[in-house]
Amino acid sequence: MAKKKKILVVEDETHLAKGLMFNLEREGYDIVVVDNGVSALETLGGDHFDLVILDLMLPKLGGLEVARQIRAGNIRFPILMLSAKSTDKDRQVGLEAGADDYLTKPFHLPELLLRVKGILRRWEWYKQPALDQERFHFDSMWIDFSTGQALGQGGEFFLTTKEALVMKLLVGKKGEVVSREELLEKVWGYDPGTETRTVDNFVARLRKHFEKKPQKPEHILTVREKGYQFVADTPE
């Protein structure tokens, strides 16, 4: 039997925490609940977890700060934020603090469960070694998929979680065409808020990092009406 996925639920509303625990356990996950930010970081430091479901309004240490601290130690660890703050600005702040996904309260149970499943699936896929070594070299640049660090045209920098996921998918299938739909499914998990244009925007950002002339890309190529293709070697 496969090992149960372990999820840390950080929620100070006892009712909500209990309800989440009940449902997630029914789905076959192993659940630990804590009610404040400080315990969340302690618990995460002391045990292995596959996902954290994080409320924003938490006693002692707020959810945003918890997310930032998790990101400071591990830039890939999956975080699902759950908050009553529902404006676009709140969502943006949450995602910038390091959340992989942001769900507003009140939420629909099936949607929550789907998102949890989606994040875990992407995480599994990301963890699979798609390459012989974690540091992938091309041209005179490199990307370290385990740390998210990369050397681009402008020097060393850190890729965001989603940028790293897009690059990993493209590099893992180098030479092949990857469709926008596949990118959306694997990287965004079909978040209802994302459109196929989002992929194009991300690719534009990645080209700025890795292309000498972003207007005339040599590595991340657009294949008309099909998607994108990664080419490691530049034509002589």
Partner 1 sequence: MNKLRTLFHPIFVFIGVQIAWIGLMVIWVYWYFENNLKLEEFAEKLRPELFNNEFTWVILLEGSFLMLIILAGVYVIFVYWNKQARLNRLQSNFVSSVSHELKSPLASIQLYLETMKYQQVSTQEARDFVETMLTDTERLSGLIDNILQSSKADPKAMRLQFQPVDIGEFMKEVLTAYKRQFEERKCAVQLDLDGAGVLRVDKRALRMVFNNLIGNALRYSPVGAPLVIQVENVKKYCQIHFIDRGIGIEKKDQKKVFKKFYRAQNIDTQNIEGAGLGLFISREIIKNHKGRLDVESAGRGRGTRFTVSLPR
Among 6, 23, 125, 179, the residue binding partner 1 under the rule CB under 8 A is 23
Q: Does 89 bind partner 1 (CB under 8 A)?
A: no
What is the Cβ-side half-sphere exposure of residue 210, based on CA atoms within 13 angstroms?
31
Q: What phi and psi, each to the nearest 5 degrees, are found at residue 14?
A: -60, -40
Question: Stretches 60-68, 136-144, 146-154, 165-173: which one binds partner 1 (CB under 8 A)?
Answer: 60-68
Answer for which of 18, 137, 208, 212 binds partner 1 (CB under 8 A) is 18
Q: Is 162 in the site for partner 1 (CB under 8 A)?
A: no
Q: Does 107 bind partner 1 (CB under 8 A)?
A: yes
Of the candidates 106, 155, 175, 192, which one interacts with partner 1 according to CB under 8 A? 106
CB 92 within 8 A of CB 84: no
Closest CA to 159 of 144, 138, 177, 172: 144
Q: Which of 4, 38, 42, 84 binds partner 1 (CB under 8 A)?
A: 84
Q: Where are the alpha helices (DSSP H) in 74-184?
A: 88-97, 109-127, 161-172, 180-183
Question: Residue 65 pairs with which residues in a beta bridge?
Answer: none
Q: Is 14 in the site for partner 1 (CB under 8 A)?
A: yes
Q: How far apart are the C-alpha atoms of 220 and 149, rounded to whole Å?
A: 18
Q: Does 193 contact partner 1 by CB under 8 A?
A: no
d(CA 36, CA 16): 14
43 binds partner 1 (CB under 8 A): no
By CB under 8 A, name the binding residues for partner 1.
Answer: 13-16, 18-20, 22-23, 26, 35, 37, 56-60, 62-63, 84-85, 105-110
